[in-house]
Structure 1
Amino acid sequence: MNFKRTGIGSATKSGLSSGKRTLASHRNSTLVEQEEKRQDLGFGTRINSSYARLINKDGSFNVSRVHASFWHRLNLYHRLITMSWPKFLLLVFAAYMTVNAIFSILYLLAGPEYLKGLPESNTGNRFWGAFFFSAQTLTTVGYGHVSPSGYLTSAIAAFESMIGLLAFALATGLLYGRFSRPIAHVRFSRNAVFGPYLDVNAWMFRIINQRSNQLIDVEVEVSLSQLETKPDGTPFRRYYLLKLERSKVNFFPANWTLVHPITESSPLYGCTPEQLEESDAEFLILLRAVDDTFSQMVHARTSYRADEVLWGRKFRSMVDSKTSGNYSLDMDTFDDTSEVPLNS
């Protein structure tokens, strides 16, 4: 009897435990499904209290890494490929002058008498004579009016020649990489606008290809990032994919105004400028296209914060009416807007 009662009690407890596990499993699966459906662009939901945009106007990400290794932070090749042309040329010139200055000092330390043809008037003339001899050796030009003699000076010259061959091969590769790297020179309007569109209102911005190359199969995605509050009062960042009136075009020869109609299904429905400011809203733009010149995919990114949205405005036409015979666009009017009343 005791054994039977113990068995029944164990079965009852086992059933209760099984039921709890079933409820917990169902709850966990529900949370997993909600998490899988949540929109996330890769920035996560954790946020800082300070004002900071996720994507800068130039398309770079406003994210910094701390305690990373020096070489990972340096990323020399990426920096040399992506830095501006003035900075790149200035860096190459500075490296060229520095290397020649170092080798000219080495020649003088080895003994200026071992450089035949070197001026002997004073130390300054000797330095510049050794400097120009270094430049001729580094570039393998070798005019011949100064030549090394002695084992040590000849060894320094031989080593410099090898450095010159490797350095100029590297510089040539960097120049080719910079010229051959396809870049989408797409210009985004300075501001986005919130204005009337058909019988509703819409959030809009404008883009144009600044170069004469052809971009085809252009596709644009727009996401809204804003702060919301959990039931426990904890703030978190949420992302919405905004549906555009047209998100893809086959050809992109002229300007293109991207339109997100504010319908009842839009997360911007009934929104005010003050609400956008309070929610730290940011519109994240991603553009993809195929560059017909390189036959490669190119990208462009930017963002608009709440204070960069003009309310009750619309973009003015860029068509130059003074030009006849072809479709002409006036680039000076790209950012121009005019005031219009919003639809009620």
Structure 2
Amino acid sequence: MFRFLNKYIQGCLARRKIHRNRLVTKDGRCNIEYGNIKYSNHLSLLADFWTTFVEIRWRFVLLIFIASFTLSWFIFGLLWYWIARSNGDLPWQNPKLDHSACIDNILGLTTAFLYSLETQTTIGYGGRALTHHCPGAVALLIIQSLLGAIINCFMCGVILSKISLPKKRAKTISFSDMAVISPKNGSLCLSIRVANLRKTLMIGSQIYGKLLRTTNSPDGETIIMDQVNIDFIVDAGKDNLFFVCPLMLYHMIDKSSPFFEMAVDTLHKQDFELVVFLDGTAESTSSACQVRTSFIPQEIMWGYNFLPIISRNKEGKYRVDFSNFSKVVPVATAHCAYCYHNIKGHHHHSREGHDNQGFDVININDPPSVTRM
């Protein structure tokens, strides 16, 4: 029991360490913090208040929503109470029988608050009403009505904008948990699978990658988060992706690739992060969005290939089995890119993998054409 608990704790600590060392998490969030920002820069965030309100968390939006209405009701309630008291309308002021009240049935602070709420929300229960005897009260009524309309429009706009954020559409774009390295179309390729979980397309989709690593310049300067472009080729489309079913992304490991110097026994000892981006426009909302994910060396499997997940049933309909989305099988693969290009028959073969029993698949391991994005 103690050994199992110790193993579980070590696993949790290792996962936390991997999560902390990532720049981009698996769900696309950037793991970065800013320090020593000047006070004037903080004020600039307030100047761009609309973006600030849209980007803050839901808990703060709901808090601001409640506070803005409640405070406005209370502040105007105090003003209505002050007007009633100044005019001598309150019962404890013993008004005369022929007294002309500014507001009927204002008995105290509580009824003044209720009158403020009824005025701003246009409820109007009929028990309390404004008279024409006080021009100042008429002016306050106009101000409260306009301010209430502004608060309504602003808060409704913030909530609608947060609900329709493009990053919500990005939640329905899924990348495989692992990347694999195996032969593909006569080249050694790093492969990633991506799927659109909605039937609506992503228009004008483009996929590219960045390899982030720490390097040393010829001058001896350490460059943290040095970025290297990673080109991907896609197994569908000409100019844009026809993103109606899961696609395979391939990065050809040639002499220009940063993976060319790596091998099966040195890959997991490297210190880098492969960030993959997918940019596109949602067909249903016409809003541009970006999907991000990242892979560290421990999430790249050398000598494996993804299982096919597309089949066709007896009625002729195509079916995608997402249970096999991230499953892989071992394939014969060279120990390194140099071995693949220069030493024939020098292969590395893993014995571990996952079976795909009982599933009728279409062979898509060798796509007929590729398009460089």
TM-score of the superposed pair, with normalisation by structure 2: 0.62
2:44 matches 1:72: yes
Residue 230 of structure 2 is aligned with which of 229, 233, 242?
Answer: 242
CA contact (8 A) 2:278 2:290 kept: yes
- Using the alignment, how far apart are the partners of 1:330 and 1:91 within structure 2? 44
1:130-165 deviations in Å (ceiling 9; x for gaps): 444323222334333222465665554332212112
CA contact (8 A) 2:105 2:127 kept: yes
In structure 2, the partner of 1:15 is none
2:65 matches 1:92: yes
- The structure richer in helix per residue is 1
In structure 2, the partner of 1:143 is 125
In structure 2, the partner of 1:285 is 276
Single out whichever of 99-108 and 210-219 deviates more from structure 2.
99-108
CA contact (8 A) 1:286 1:301 kept: yes
- Using the alignment, how far apart are the partners of 2:322 and 2:26 within structure 1? 19
CA contact (8 A) 1:200 1:343 kept: no
CA contact (8 A) 1:194 1:201 kept: no
Distance 1:339 1:166, change over 3 A: same
For residue 77 of structure 1, report the CA deviation from its aligned partner. Answer: 0.9
Distance 1:313 1:168, change over 3 A: same
CA contact (8 A) 1:224 1:282 kept: yes
- Using the alignment, how far apart are the partners of 1:331 and 1:136 within structure 2? 54
- Using the alignment, how far apart are the partners of 1:83 and 1:208 within structure 2? 29
- Using the alignment, how far apart are the partners of 2:123 and 2:138 within structure 1? 16
- Using the alignment, how far apart are the partners of 2:176 and 2:241 within structure 1? 25
Distance 1:155 1:310, change over 3 A: farther
Which one-letter code corresponds to 1:76 in the other structure? F
- Using the alignment, how far apart are the partners of 1:148 and 1:89 within structure 2? 32
Residue 260 of structure 1 is aligned with which of 238, 251, 255?
Answer: 251
Higher RCO (CA-CA < 8 Å; seq separation 6+): 1
- Using the alignment, how far apart are the partners of 2:44 and 2:141 within structure 1? 34
In structure 2, the partner of 1:217 is 204
Aligned to 2:73, the other structure's residue is in SS state helix
For residue 102 of structure 1, report the CA deviation from its aligned partner. Answer: 3.3
What is the 5 A alignment of 1:116-265? 116-118=104-106, 127=110, 129-148=111-130, 154-174=138-158, 177-178=161-162, 182=166, 184-185=169-170, 186-189=172-175, 191-198=177-184, 201-236=188-223, 237-246=225-234, 249-265=240-256
Which one-letter code corresponds to 2:279 in the other structure? R
For residue 57 of structure 1, report the CA deviation from its aligned partner. Answer: 4.1
- Using the alignment, how far apart are the partners of 2:143 and 2:61 within structure 1? 26
- Using the alignment, how far apart are the partners of 1:94 and 1:319 within structure 2? 52
Q: Give the superposed CA RMSD.
A: 3.7
1:1-39 deviations in Å (ceiling 9; x for gaps): xxxxxxxxxxxxxxxxxxxxxxxxxxxxxxxxxxxxxxx
In structure 2, the partner of 1:11 is none
CA contact (8 A) 1:54 1:63 kept: no
Distance 1:327 1:109, change over 3 A: farther
Which one-letter code corresponds to 1:164 in the other structure? G
CA contact (8 A) 1:228 1:279 kept: no
Which one-letter code corresponds to 1:206 in the other structure? R
Aligned to 1:95, the other structure's residue is in SS state helix
Distance 1:195 1:326, change over 3 A: same
Aligned to 1:250, the other structure's residue is in SS state coil
For residue 90 of structure 1, report the CA deviation from its aligned partner. Answer: 5.2
- Using the alignment, how far apart are the partners of 1:329 and 1:84 within structure 2? 35
TM-score of the superposed pair, with normalisation by structure 1: 0.67
Aligned to 2:319, the other structure's residue is in SS state coil
CA contact (8 A) 2:306 2:327 kept: yes
Flag structure 2 segments of 5+ consecutive residues without an equivalent: 1-19, 91-101, 335-373
Aligned to 1:328, the other structure's residue is in SS state strand
Distance 1:77 1:337, change over 3 A: same
1:177-220 deviations in Å (ceiling 9; x for gaps): 45666554252325332232336543222222233322223210
Flag structure 1 segments of 5+ consecutive residues without an equivalent: 1-50
Distance 1:177 1:268, change over 3 A: same
